[in-house]
Amino acid sequence: MTLQIRPATPADVPVLVQLITALAEYEKLTHLLEITPEKLETQLFGPRPPAEAVLAEVGPPEARRVAGFALYFTNFSTFLCKPGLYLEDVFVLPEHRGQGIGKALLQHLAALAVERGCGRFEWSVLDWNEPAIRFYQAMGASVLPDWRICRVTGEALEQLAGRR
């Protein structure tokens, strides 16, 4: 298998939407999807893109097929006083799993974090996703037991902002 990991381009937006939809289906979260190609293109390639994406492709150069993606952004650690790389989503299509593509995506992003002088490379994992947890631990990641994600969205976000 020939594997290439490359930065996404605006031409990749339709396939990224398909991959994100497949991820939502896997996680049984399609009811939360608000993604459109237009929204995603603005967020990844607009004037101040808050996120970046890479695609994993397999096959010979003349017949490459997308096998997965990773979407990430820069965050910041006040304690380390350094930027960090936060992996929002990584997904490999079911027919391409077990071929080292997920590992290659994580290694690619870890190298990018080192190159950018990041102090951390972090991501979250759903507590029910035992195969992913075991995979991440095998890659050297610590699953932090004392930390919980806090999230404010929708009407609660509007209320917190004092707008409702």
Q: Of 26, 72, 86, 136, which one is the catalytic site residue?
A: 136
Determine the distance from the C-alpha atom of residue 114 to the mean position of all C-alpha atoms in its chain, rounded to a whole number: 17
Please check whether residue 67 is in contact with residue 75, taking contact to mean a CB–CB distance below 8 angstroms: no
136 catalytic per annotation: yes
> Rounded to 5 degrees, what are φ and ψ at 21?
-65, -40
Q: CB under 8 Å to 55, separation ≥6 — which residues?
A: 5, 6, 7, 8, 12, 15, 16, 66, 68, 69
d(CA 98, CA 58): 13
Q: What is the Cα gyration radius of the chain?
A: 17
| Sheet containing 120-123, strands listed edge to edge, beginning at the edge strand earlier in sequence | 3-7, 52-58, 65-77, 82-92, 120-123
Catalytic (active-site) positions: 136
